[in-house]
Amino acid sequence: MTSPFDAAQTAARTQAIAADLAAVEWITDGRVERLSQDFYWFSPVLKRQLEGLRADAVARPKTEDEIRAVVAACARQGVPITARGSGTGNYGQCMPLHGGVILDLSAYNQLLWCKPGVARAQAGIRMMEMDRKTQAEGWELRCVPSTFRSATLGGLYGGGFGGVGSINHGPLASSGNVLGVKAMSIEPEPRTVELRGPEALLLHHVYGTAGLVLELEVGLAPAHPWLEAIVCFDSFDAALEFGDALASAPGLVKKSVTLLAAPIPDLLLQAVPVLAGTMTARSHAVFVLVAEFSEQGFQQLVTDFGGSVTLRKTAAEVRSSNRTIVEYTWNHTTLHAMKVDKGLTYIQSGMQAGKHVQQAKTMRKLLGDEVLVHLEFIRTKEGAMNCSGLQLVRYRNDERLNEIMQIHRDHGVYIANPHVYIVEDGKQGQVNPDVVATKMRFDPQGLLNPGKLRGWEQREQIMADAASGRVSLATLPRF
Amino acid sequence: MTSPFDAAQTAARTQAIAADLAAVEWITDGRVERLSQDFYWFSPVLKRQLEGLRADAVARPKTEDEIRAVVAACARQGVPITARGSGTGNYGQCMPLHGGVILDLSAYNQLLWCKPGVARAQAGIRMMEMDRKTQAEGWELRCVPSTFRSATLGGLYGGGFGGVGSINHGPLASSGNVLGVKAMSIEPEPRTVELRGPEALLLHHVYGTAGLVLELEVGLAPAHPWLEAIVCFDSFDAALEFGDALASAPGLVKKSVTLLAAPIPDLLLQAVPVLAGTMTARSHAVFVLVAEFSEQGFQQLVTDFGGSVTLRKTAAEVRSSNRTIVEYTWNHTTLHAMKVDKGLTYIQSGMQAGKHVQQAKTMRKLLGDEVLVHLEFIRTKEGAMNCSGLQLVRYRNDERLNEIMQIHRDHGVYIANPHVYIVEDGKQGQVNPDVVATKMRFDPQGLLNPGKLRGWEQREQIMADAASGRVSLATLPRF
């Protein structure tokens, strides 16, 4: 790829900045390589494209002042900045295409406050740590990825979509989940601003390209005692319908419902010795987090749909074992399955709410053994029950992989392509003019994670269209 | 109506029982008339049919032993028993068709325990009192009627459907809302049994005909600080769509969304002086209970849909004023409107989830000024967002009232007819064989609220059909 940045110059300037800002923690040794990566290798396509990318140095600031110093220096020198949490994403979101500085925010990690239903934290806080603190007040995060142990809140906001808990509150982008963010501009004199409401979503899921997020204020959910269970079924349809009924049941309080169709449970049993005995061989498994006080209704549904509970752990047992079945769901399923079958990759999809059960059946019939069904029940942004697929795919070649995604689209299933690293390519190619305009305010030189936002190349056209009234932009943040 | 009971004999026997059980509180004076009634007069049809009904005496027991003594005596003497909470129902549910004893359970009212997510109480507990106690533990009832101040938990279970909070947890009948009930049989030696799960619903919404409910174990919801607001709109469609968007928004935590189309707000303003200034004249109003921590997203939606917030009270203000807008929703709307326009009555309806917004628009166009639109957003038993109508109707005559209900049915809107006092007539005439079989176990002589369950007259046929396999009955409670 051709770069607007001179690699040698960027490297030299980065070194000079690191030398100049000696009070900040800098990493310049062999760890830089690991800190320049995420789980991009889930995709054979991205593995080929992104392998070997490396920043020139990693800065790990602990305070806003340290962040400001690094940002100001980079802005003055024209050095790319790629923000990073724990690197648990998997589209190369935080991998620097053009070197420069990795801004590792994992040491900028304080919980600022927690009130009923809302908390505010620095972007680098690990979600497990945040939950530990807010749970003491009776609250917890509304959605976490399966990587919550190491993943940061800012990372979820910048590179994620939703997760465990989205079955109740929808994706992060649903109103009320992210109340505000404090963002910094990439300028010689960096400015900060608090974005509230819809503005707070302008920097969401754009891989840290449009502005630097320092703090997040997020909605919390009541922390219930979650019972963890695995329910096995002989029939795929029964497992799917059970999952949908449980997910939808308004009187049964739950946090997560995951369907892993055969043979995924067998792959997990192979990959994870500690799961021995927790699932029936050759079955379809539903992984469930349900409130202990809703167990009676949950067990009734298991009976109604002909399932067998093959694992049951109370909240206290989960806590004392320090193990949760959450770490076998979402992209942890992919991770474990790939351990035993290197030929696997995956796709991400979204069914149409209301048609989701039928679509899931249809796609399974169509794609048989080539696509292994993994569904997570979640609410849509508007609140309807739906399921999101993280189907495992037996990879043959890129053409067939694209064909499989196209077959999904042809059947009305939305694809969030995880084999691309450009923001818009994961979203059916759609450029969002508001995001581009936002980036123009926060990052006029285009230094944030350069090369990931296609719309940036179209900024002059977008501004001209806005000026002529052909495009109407959202009200944009003011400093 | 012809009675299987001899009125004079029933009266004499009732007096004898009251004399015999002097340790129990009996009411035999003028108050009996009021205690034999509910809000049946909302319906001009029921007013004609039920006016003047009167029990022979009211027993107000305080303990299970006292209840058992009354029940045993009535069973031995063949005296009808009609259980009653506070009489806030409105289909004559607790009005005795054949005299006998009113079993007023309002003094049998202890909260037995409250744990996270679940509580258990005696049937006569007032819901406000129960909430007051469980809120101290951070929990509250999942749904309450607008009459929560006086209405009892047993009354809601026996004669109600859902209420404020059903927007989250669906109707009472959704799995997880009622976990168990303790029921007593009407026999010379009364027996009690705990019914769990689906069995616990066999006595629900059958007006106390099928068994006597002593205790209820119910799911609780987290008690959030509820902000109360009224939002006024010039446009009916905007008000409706705002209500639906707020009700559905998965990240905005709410307890109630009520749409009162014009001219209902004007009727309320006339009926309730204290509401002066809280609504714009000639507007469509949406009454909202939303968590304080979700206010930002709520206000954003108000802006998006072009509404104006004309009342805003914090949870603390609601508490200190001892007034809540809940008392202008559900059937309180009907009550207040009828104060200023005696020509009004109402109907109850259920839209089809997903089509509910369109159906509401269609019905309003069709029925113009004759039917005043009042909708409550609630989840269906299966969990989809929907709305339930308590439309006000300008009453002309019974034929037109029935015609109006038929027009709704013809457009796919479910009608729960509030102008009938027979259980099945409110449910499209459907006899439930399981309820009849349950009544045969709990009330073999047919003494409970006689004349209200049509299926009871068909019991021999139902049992014959069950024996021959033509009808399959649910597993019934065993003592």
CB contact under 8 A, B197 and A116: no
CB B306 within 8 A of CB B141: no
Distance CA A310, CA A278 (A): 5
Which residues in chain A have their CB less than 8 angstroms from residue B253's CB? Answer: 117, 176, 219
Mean pLDDT of A330-348: 97
What are the angstrom distances between the C-alpha of B390 and each of B127, B332, B418? Answer: 22, 10, 10
- In this prediction, residue B365 carries a pLDDT of 97
Task: Spell out which residues of chain A touch residue B169, defining contact as CB-CB under 8 Å.
Answer: 250-251
Minimal Cα–Cα distance from A316 to chain B, Å?
14
For A79-117, how does the pLDDT look when each residue is reduced to its tens digit (9 = 90+)?
999 999 999 999 999 999 999 999 999 999 999 999 999
A99: number of Cβ within 10 Å: 26
Average pLDDT, chain A: 96
Q: What mean pLDDT value characterizes chain B? A: 96
Residue A308's pLDDT band (boundaries 50, 70, 90)? very high
pLDDT at B223 > cutoff 60: yes
For residue B168, give the chain A residue with the closest CA.
Answer: A250
Beta bridge pairs of residue B104: B84
Is residue A308 packed enough to be buried (19+ CB in 10 Å), middle (13-18) or exposed (0-12)? middle
Instruction: Kindly indicate whether the ipTM for this predicted assembly is greater than 0.85, answering yes or no.
Output: yes
pLDDT classification of A392: cutoffs 50, 70, 90: very high
According to the model, what pLDDT value does residue A2 have? Answer: 63
Chain B positions with Cβ closer than 8 Å to A: 115-118, 138, 142, 168-170, 174-177, 179, 196-198, 219-220, 222, 224-225, 245, 248-253, 291-294, 296-297, 300-301, 354, 379-385
Query: Does the structure show a pLDDT above 80 at A154?
Result: yes
Backbone angles phi, psi at A34, to 5 degrees: -60, -40
Q: Provide the pLDDT for residue B65.
A: 98
Q: Distance (Å, rounded) from C-alpha A14 to C-alpha A96?
A: 13
Query: Where does the pLDDT of residue A138 fall: very low under 50, low under 70, confident under 90, or very high at 90 and above?
Result: very high
Contacts of A177 in chain B (CB under 8 A): 251
DSSP string, A313-354: E-HHHHHHHT--GGGGSHHHHHHHHHHH-TTEEE--EE--TT
B56-89 burial, b for 16+ CB within 10 Å, e for fewer? bbbbbbbebebbbbbbbbbbebbbbbbbbbbbbb
Q: In chain B, what percentage of residues exceed pLDDT 70?
A: 100
- Residue of chain B whose alpha carbon sits nearest to that of A143: B251
User: Is A293–B245 a contact, with Cβ atoms under 8 angstroms apart?
Assistant: no
B367/A226 Cα distance (integer angstroms): 48
List the single residue in B116, B250, B296 with the smallest CB-CB distance to A169. Answer: B250
Out of B174, B251, B380, closest to residue A169 by CB: B251
pLDDT at A420: 96
How much is the pTM?
0.97
CB-based contact A251 B224, cutoff 8 Å: no
User: In B, which residues are within 8 Å of A292 by CB distance?
Assistant: 116-117
- Neighbour tally for A389: CB within 10 Å: 26
* Residue A410 confidence (pLDDT): 97
Question: Is the pLDDT at B311 greater than 70, yes or no?
Answer: yes
**CB B116 to CB A225 under 8 A?**
yes
| Chain B residues within an 8 Å CB radius of A219 | 251, 253, 293-294
Give φ, ψ of B234 to 5 degrees. -80, -30
pLDDT digits (tens, 9 = 90+) for B97-123: 999 999 999 999 999 999 999 999 999
Task: Kindly identify which residue of chain B lies nearest to residue A354, measuring between CA atoms.
Answer: B354
What is the C-alpha separation between A174 and A119, in angstroms, rounded?
17
Instruction: Kindly report the nearest CA distance between residue A429 and chain B, in angstroms.
Output: 27
Contact B116 A168 (CB under 8 A): no
Q: Collect all residues of chain B within an 8 Å Cβ-Cβ radius of residue A354.
A: 354
Size of interface A-B (CB pairs under 8 A): 125
- Burial environment of residue A354 by CB neighbours within 10 A (0 to 12, 13 to 18, 19 or more): middle
**pLDDT digits 0-9 by tens, A437-472:** 999 999 999 999 999 999 999 999 999 999 999 988
Rounded Cα gap, residues B415 and B409, in angstroms: 7
pLDDT confidence bin for B190, thresholds 50/70/90: very high
Per-residue pLDDT tens digits for B246-263:
999 999 999 999 999 999
Whether A159 has a pLDDT exceeding 60, the answer reads yes
Between the CA of residue A409 and those of A244, A348, A375, A389, A400, what are the distances in Å? Answer: 22, 12, 16, 13, 14
Query: How far apart are the CA of A420 and the nearest CA of chain B, in angstroms?
Result: 29
The predicted-structure confidence for B281-293, as pLDDT tens digits, reads as follows: 999 999 999 999 9
Taking only the tens place, the pLDDT of each residue in B327-381 is 999 999 999 999 999 999 999 999 999 999 999 999 999 998 999 999 999 999 9
B248 → closest Cβ in A168, A225, A382? A382
Is residue A372 within 8 A of residue A391, CB to CB? The reply is yes
